[in-house]
Structure 1
């Protein structure tokens, strides 16, 4: 016996609106990560291979977090969908702060 198919609780327009609003915040995190990468890569010391990896991760992570949060929450109610997207955004912000902290204290990323 198969489980009944789960129906969508939200209209498509509401899903797009909620995802679009949160997407702007995710885009800001990505844009900040790109700006930091450019700043560090064109700085006086440059970046070595590990530095490139470390500074590219905060560009990729929010995109993956948004995709995962969207996949998890798209078939839920509006409040639950927003909370799932907020949780992904919070994770992205925490990851961003960890990278900034690591970048300021680790000199092994520079000098490439």
Structure 2
């Protein structure tokens, strides 16, 4: 007698995964685009950026891409609501990280003067 306790999960249809990921992907793209705009604004400013400034302002460009990948990997095989919540959690972390960088950039003069 076999004691194989595999649980067969129904996967979401591909069109639902693509639709949910596409909608959330637009919001992630907005965070990335805002980060790119902030980097360009600070780099072309009167003081410019030093090496640390470039590093700090490139992080919010990379972070949402990584967060989307992790959230997609965690939630793609779950129910639609759980998948949406995973992507929403990653988006929330990305937005909070972006705001933290903006706050740090406005109070730290060590990033400028390259």
With the length of structure 1 as denominator, give the TM-score of the two structures. Answer: 0.95
Runs of 4+ in 1 over 4 A off after TM superposition: none
Q: Which whole-Å CA distance do the structure 1 matches of 2:87 and 2:8 have between them? A: 20
Structure 2 stretches lacking a partner, 5+ long? none
How many residues of Structure 1 are paired with residues of Structure 2 in the alignment?
A: 112
Q: Which whole-Å CA distance do the structure 1 matches of 2:82 and 2:66 have between them? A: 19
Residue 56 of structure 2 is matched in structure 1 by 54
Structure 1 stretches lacking a partner, 5+ long? none
Q: Which whole-Å CA distance do the structure 2 matches of 1:39 and 1:2 have between them? A: 59
Over aligned residue pairs, what C-alpha RMSD do you find?
Answer: 1.4
Change (3 A) 1:79 1:44: same
Larger radius of gyration: 2
2:41 to 36, 39, 42: 39
With the length of structure 2 as denominator, give the TM-score of the two structures. Answer: 0.93
Q: How does 1:71-110 map to 2 (within 5 A)?
A: 71-110=73-112
